[in-house]
């Protein structure tokens, strides 16, 4: 099967995570992605080889000094025969380097320009790294135990989520058949991801709060529970799940979600006591055949060992593959590019 994005050419002026992650997913699906790197290479090359590989497989690389007339001239040639340009830099740098639709439309009216920034193209240059955004948008305040300090998830959720949103915006504008500017900020993406918490506050005046074991605001029981050995994530979202779980756990009553929410503490106490009778993996094995959403808490290593089908090889590196599965198409995973391997003399094939 022809790759879904075969024939689409994308330029990336990306750094670290959000931008490179977006274009890597598109490259996996067949887009021709050329990574435009400054002299010396993009900064994430100096983090580690495996870090760079995890974000830049399936791309080409061209080294350009966009601060120079020569670099700008080559950029214009690239733009003229590309469908999109995606950049994640400070707004002032994006404008100074002429990486907006307004600056590039004269070279290609159909070019789609995607800008990933911390607070929007008009939001200023304040530092906006992933953890800063998680703190600024309420994510950190919602994470952790109620009596403990605010904390952060152990991965770059703001950068990764913004990369996904940017890829979606890029494809949406290409599909429209028009060029234009797409503006995606880490702040806005994370506020969007707090959708039901924000709606509860904006419409009902309900302040989001941290609950023990990461309990859900609306569903009970839906959180992590200790067991005889290990922890179990249990997610009961409707009465049918509760009936199946309660039958297996020998818990009487609390038949409706409304009752379980009203008697949250009693339900959690009964559930905790019942789960203490078996291990996390034991409960997982018992509940999954019943259709009850439950999983033992595993480490990343354990999760990867359990899902070998998600591990791919790109050059010398084993990586997690693209999560988008197109039936009939299997990505050809190529290694991350060596700096300037595409060469300034032939940056994009005709």
68-97 confidence digits (pLDDT tens): 999 999 999 999 999 999 999 999 999 999
In this structure, the answer to whether residues 154 and 19 fall within a common structural domain is yes
Whether residue 326 is contained in a domain is answered as no
Whether residue 57 is contained in a domain is answered as yes
pLDDT value at residue 322: 95
Report how many domains make up the chain: 2
pLDDT value at residue 345: 46
Question: Over the chain, what HEC string results?
Answer: CCCCCCCCEEEEECCCCHHHHHHHHHHHCCCEEEEEECCCCCHHHHCCHHHHHHHHCCEEEEECCCCCHHHHHHHHHHHHCCCEEEEECCHHHHHHCCCCHHHHCCCCCCCEEEEEECCCCCCCCCCCCHHHHHHHCCHHHHCCCCCCCCCCCCCCHHHHHHHHHHHHHHHHHHHHCCCEEEEEEHHHHHHHHCHHHHHHHHHHCCCCCCCHHHCCCCCCCEEEEECCCCEEEEECCCHHHHHHHHHHHCCCCCCCHHHHHHCHHHHHHHHHHHHCCCCHHHHHHHHHHHCCCEEECCCHHHHHHHCHHHEEEECCEEEECCCCCCCCCCCCCCCCCCCCCCCCCCCCCC
Whether residue 342 is contained in a domain is answered as no
In this structure, the answer to whether residues 165 and 76 fall within a common structural domain is yes
CB < 8 Å & 24+ apart, contacts of 338-345: 338/61, 339/37, 339/41, 339/45, 339/61, 339/63, 340/37, 340/61, 340/62, 340/63, 341/60, 341/61, 342/34, 342/60, 342/61, 342/62, 343/62, 344/62, 344/63, 344/64, 344/74
pLDDT value at residue 343: 81
pLDDT value at residue 136: 94
In this structure, the answer to whether residues 250 and 178 fall within a common structural domain is no
Whether residue 167 is contained in a domain is answered as yes
pLDDT value at residue 127: 86
CA dihedral defined by 283, 219, 143, 232, rounded to 10 degrees?
A: 0
pLDDT value at residue 342: 86
In this structure, the answer to whether residues 189 and 51 fall within a common structural domain is yes
pLDDT value at residue 184: 98
Whether residue 325 is contained in a domain is answered as no
Q: What are phi and psi of 314, to 5 degrees?
A: -125, 100
pLDDT value at residue 350: 39
CA 90 vs. chain centroid, Å, equals: 20
Catalytic residue among 28, 122, 125, 159: 159
Query: For residue 77, what are its two tokens?
Result: 């040639």
Q: CA–CA separation, 133 vs 116, rounded Å?
A: 13
In this structure, the answer to whether residues 260 and 178 fall within a common structural domain is no
In this structure, the answer to whether residues 159 and 102 fall within a common structural domain is yes
Residue with tokens 């998600």: 310
To the query of whether residue 159 is one of the catalytic residues in this protein, the response is yes
What is the pTM assigned to this prediction? Answer: 0.91
In this structure, the answer to whether residues 114 and 240 fall within a common structural domain is no
**List of the chain residues with pLDDT < 70:** 344-350
Query: For residue 5, what are its two tokens?
Result: 């994005």
- Closest residue by Cα to residue 34 from 337, 317, 322: 337
Give the domain extent around 152.
Answer: 9-193+309-320
pLDDT value at residue 347: 46
In this structure, the answer to whether residues 49 and 141 fall within a common structural domain is yes
Whether residue 29 is contained in a domain is answered as yes
In this structure, the answer to whether residues 21 and 133 fall within a common structural domain is yes
Q: CA–CA separation, 90 vs 93, rounded Å?
A: 5
Q: 26 with 8: CB under 8 angstroms?
A: yes
In this structure, the answer to whether residues 83 and 111 fall within a common structural domain is yes
In this structure, the answer to whether residues 181 and 236 fall within a common structural domain is no
Whether residue 41 is contained in a domain is answered as yes
């Amino acid at each position: 099967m022809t790759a879904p994005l075969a024939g689409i050419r994308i330029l990336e002026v990306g750094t670290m995570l959000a931008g490179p992650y977006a274009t890597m997913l598109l490259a996996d699906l067949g887009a021709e992605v050329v990574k435009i790197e400054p002299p010396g290479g993009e900064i994430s090359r100096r983090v580690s080889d495996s870090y760079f590989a995890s974000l830049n497989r399936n791309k080409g690389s061209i080294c350009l000094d966009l601060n120079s007339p020569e670099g700008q001239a080559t950029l214009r040639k690239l733009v003229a025969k590309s469908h999109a340009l995606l950049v994640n830099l400070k707004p002032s740098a994006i404008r100074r380097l002429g990486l907006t639709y307004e600056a590039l439309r004269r070279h290609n009216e159909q070019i789609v320009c995607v800008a990933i920034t911390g607070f929007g193209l008009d939001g200023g240059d304040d530092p906006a790294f992933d953890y800063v955004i998680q703190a600024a948008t309420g994510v950190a305040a919602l994470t952790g135990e109620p009596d403990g300090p605010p904390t952060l998830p152990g991965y770059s959720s703001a950068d990764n989520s913004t990369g996904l949103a940017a890829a979606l915006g890029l494809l949406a504008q290409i599909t429209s058949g028009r060029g234009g500017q797409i503006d995606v900020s880490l702040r806005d993406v994370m506020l969007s991801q707090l959708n039901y918490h924000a709606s509860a506050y904006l419409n009902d005046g309900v302040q989001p709060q941290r609950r023990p074991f990461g309990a859900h605001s609306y569903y009970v029981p839906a959180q992590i529970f200790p067991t005889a050995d290990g922890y179990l994530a249990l997610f009961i979202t409707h009465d049918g799940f509760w009936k199946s779980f309660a039958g297996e756990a020998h818990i009487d009553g609390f038949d409706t979600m409304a009752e379980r929410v009203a008697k949250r503490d009693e339900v959690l106490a009964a559930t905790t006591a019942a789960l203490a009778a078996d291990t996390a993996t034991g409960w997982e094995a018992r509940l999954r055949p019943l259709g009850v959403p439950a999983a033992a808490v595993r480490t990343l290593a354990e999760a990867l060992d359990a899902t070998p089908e998600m591990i791919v090889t790109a050059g010398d590196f084993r990586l997690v593959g693209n999560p988008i599965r197109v039936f009939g198409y299997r990505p050809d995973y190529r290694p991350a590019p060596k700096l300037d391997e595409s060469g300034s003399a032939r940056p994009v094939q005709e």
